[in-house]
Chains A and B, each alone.
Chain A
Amino acid sequence: MNDGAMGIKVLGVNHRTAPLDVRERFAHGAHEVPGALARVMAAGASGGVLLSTCNRTEFYLVADEERVTDVVWDLLGERIHGGATAREYGYIARDRDAVRHLYRVSSGLDSMILGESQIQGQVRDAWEASRAQAGPVLHRLFQTALHVGARIRTETALGAGTASAASAAVTVAGKIFGDLAGRAALILGAGDMAELAATCLADEGVRVTLVANRTHERARVIAERLGANALTLDEAWPHFATTDIALCSTAAPHAVVTWERVGGVIGGRRGRPLCILDLAVPRDVDPAIAQIENVFLYDIDDLQTVAAQATARRHDEVPAAERIVEEETDLFWAWYGGLGVVPVIKEFRSRMEALRAAEVERALRHLGHLAPEDRARIEQLSQALLNKFLHQPTVALKAAAEEGRGYGLLEALRRLFGL
């Protein structure tokens, strides 16, 4: 296939290709998505969706130029330093492979925790956030991706069990403390992930005593739900001396739990273990904190590794899920391949026919002396020429449609002939 032709592409990095410290640099907050997509669209993409989670940052594009690819790598490359390029960590999938990729992502087949369900919401959020720039093809692609995810969840047991980073947090804390009942937990951040993990801990008998957040009001809302007290982040640091578990999931763009803020406080614990669970990307906790002997620090990668171990049974469901992905990819590809080919060919031919008729009529007006049979011969000649001229483009369009590349050629045809 011609890489430069208009088609669906996905470019990005994920947990398989990049370590956490690289991924957290590539992560885009919701407020950054429109700007990033605008740059890619300006480079020639006709549609774009940016999916950015803690495990992946992926640009889904409808684009016909390699320049767009370069812009994406440049855009990501600006976020890393030290001579590395985004390309080193990245991957590209094109056309059918790109469709299959998104379907696998949305169903949890490509997740670090096989079959995890959180990704469905993240795909939906990415689609919503990029709605203005997605374009008709990506709208359809993301709509069907959510359908594929739901179908796999219903028809297979890929999502069975309770493996998640939040439940892994309970497992890890349990390996330190044994019985978690009565342990005190401090929550930093007031997002959904923090609340989910805090709820998992509370279910095990952990006393969630404090919820700290940058804004006190949001902390208060979550604290009320968990029966805890609300604090601002700055008020939280002294409590590292007494809490057993610190669960961090703020949206801060840099580490907030630093050696300067809590190093001395933790030193006063007299050897009592402290379990710090950092669910945030970018990470909330300075990795240097783990050097303190009685501190056990785990980030999202660690928790997902633990959770992945709990999902071994889900591997049996992978073949069934992959079959559904293939089936749905075929359906999308059939739609995408034939997208508007017939009406556009019709319009193209009728536009050419109108031009031919008008030009023949104009010519014949100046050739009034011709006998009717000669006029008919000219008419025939123009018709034959038009058919000859249109034959190859029509055949090529139909062939491209069958290969799933009709959309790109149609776009070209529309632009060239003002259809």
Chain B
Amino acid sequence: MILTLHLLALALYGVATALTLAPVMGMRTPPRFLTIALPCAGAAMHVVAVSQLTLVGLAPALSMLALCLVLLQLATERLVRGSAVGFFTGPLATGLVGLALLIGLAPGAEPSAGRNAWFILHVALSVLGLALLALAFIAAALYLLQFRELKARRFGQVFQLFPPLERLDYLNRVALVAGFPALTLGVLLALGYAARFAGGLHVGKAQIVWGLFTWVVLGWAVWVRVVRRWDGRRAAFASIAGFSAVLLVYLALKLAEPGAERFL
């Protein structure tokens, strides 16, 4: 059942992504309701599938991250008419679901943890935080591309398809400011869960050091945005730096200690 629902979600995300990317390929823009209805249908199936998952291990986390990205894409479409966000979130979510299916959605090493409220909250907030930071990164990238086109007075596809600068800046700020506390709380819940239910913290020094480094970089990006009131290009670069730090540190740690049993 989980597998079938994931496959259906994957198919719907795939078609929705193809439709979203059609204008970029020079094809006719599809009806708007299709580019909303298809990921909505996919997300509905995905929600049912994820609710049946034991949230332990890499594949369930990736699946949940994909779901969060699709839900954020739909929210973005609704709130800021930022359909161009789907150019990135669509392929990313589709790829993540595909990867989760390839890795295998079987429960990880600690199936009992998957039923613990602290653990579920930890996973949900951490994944939501990551998805929000990814959204902030996407908004920042779109901002920089649109900025470059507007400054260069080019009126091609980026000009026509991407949202206005200030809307992208707003999206970047909201996603970054929401994503950082969500991720922080997710990590704190993990610490609480480890202390209370798992008999202590079972992580290496490298994970602690690099984890702290990432948190500081992200914190700096939020600080300059909120306290120093950076906006526009500078804020976009800070946001990209923050998410890049998360991504690079995660990949480095994962390469150092491979395995699909744990997300990190």
Interface residues of A (CB under 8 A from B): 174-178, 271, 273, 290, 293-294, 296, 298, 302, 305-306, 309
Contacts and interface: CB of A to CB of B under 8 A. Distances in A.
A331 B231 CA distance: 63
Main secondary structure of the interface of A (DSSP, over half): helix
A328 to B, nearest CB: 34
Interface string B120-160: 00000000000000000000000000100011010100011
A296 B149 CA distance: 10
Secondary structure of the B contact surface, majority rule: helix
Given A176-B164, A294-B232, A302-B155, 7 more contacts: A175-B164, A176-B166, A271-B231, A271-B232, A293-B233, A298-B153, A309-B160
A88 to B, nearest CB: 25
Contact of A176 (B80, B150, B160, B231): B150
Given A290-B151, A302-B155, A305-B155, A178 B164 contact: yes
Contact of A273 (B155, B165, B167): B165
B163 interface: yes
A177 B166 contact: yes
Interface in B208-237: 231-234
A296 B151 contact: yes
Q: Which of A175, A302, A309 has the most CB of B within 10 A?
A: A175
Contacts of B151: 290, 296
A76 B218 CA distance: 61
Nearest to B232: A271
B167 A178 contact: yes
Nearest to B162: A175
A178, A305, A306, most chain B CB atoms within 10 A: A178
Contacts of A177: 164-166
A309 B160 CA distance: 10
Interface in B155-206: 155, 159-160, 163-167, 170
Contact of B150 (A175, A271, A305, A309): A175
A296 B232 CA distance: 13
A178 B146 CA distance: 12
A309 B155 contact: yes
Contacts of B153: 298, 302
A247 B183 CA distance: 45
Interface of B: 80, 146, 150-151, 153, 155, 159-160, 163-167, 170, 231-234
B109 to A, nearest CB: 48
A302 B150 CA distance: 11
A174 B164 CA distance: 7
A306 B150 CA distance: 12
A303 to B, nearest CB: 10
12 contacts: A175-B165, A176-B164, A176-B165, A177-B166, A178-B163, A178-B164, A178-B165, A178-B167, A271-B234, A293-B233, A298-B153, A306-B155
A309 B155 CA distance: 9
Contacts of B155: 302, 305-306, 309
Contact of A175 (B159, B170, B231, B233): B159
B169 to A, nearest CB: 9
Nearest to B229: A270
Contacts of B231: 271
A176 B147 CA distance: 9
B166 A273 contact: yes
Contacts of A174: 164
B2 to A, nearest CB: 41
A341 B80 CA distance: 71
Contacts of A290: 151
Nearest to B170: A178
Nearest to B167: A178
B123 to A, nearest CB: 35
Contacts of B160: 309
Contacts of A298: 153
A183 to B, nearest CB: 10
Nearest to B234: A271
Contacts of B167: 178
Nearest first, the 4 A-B pairs at minimum CB distance are A178-B164, A178-B167, A178-B166, A302-B153
Contacts of B232: 271, 273, 294
Contacts of A178: 80, 163-167, 170
Contacts of A309: 155, 160
A292 to B, nearest CB: 10
B78 to A, nearest CB: 15
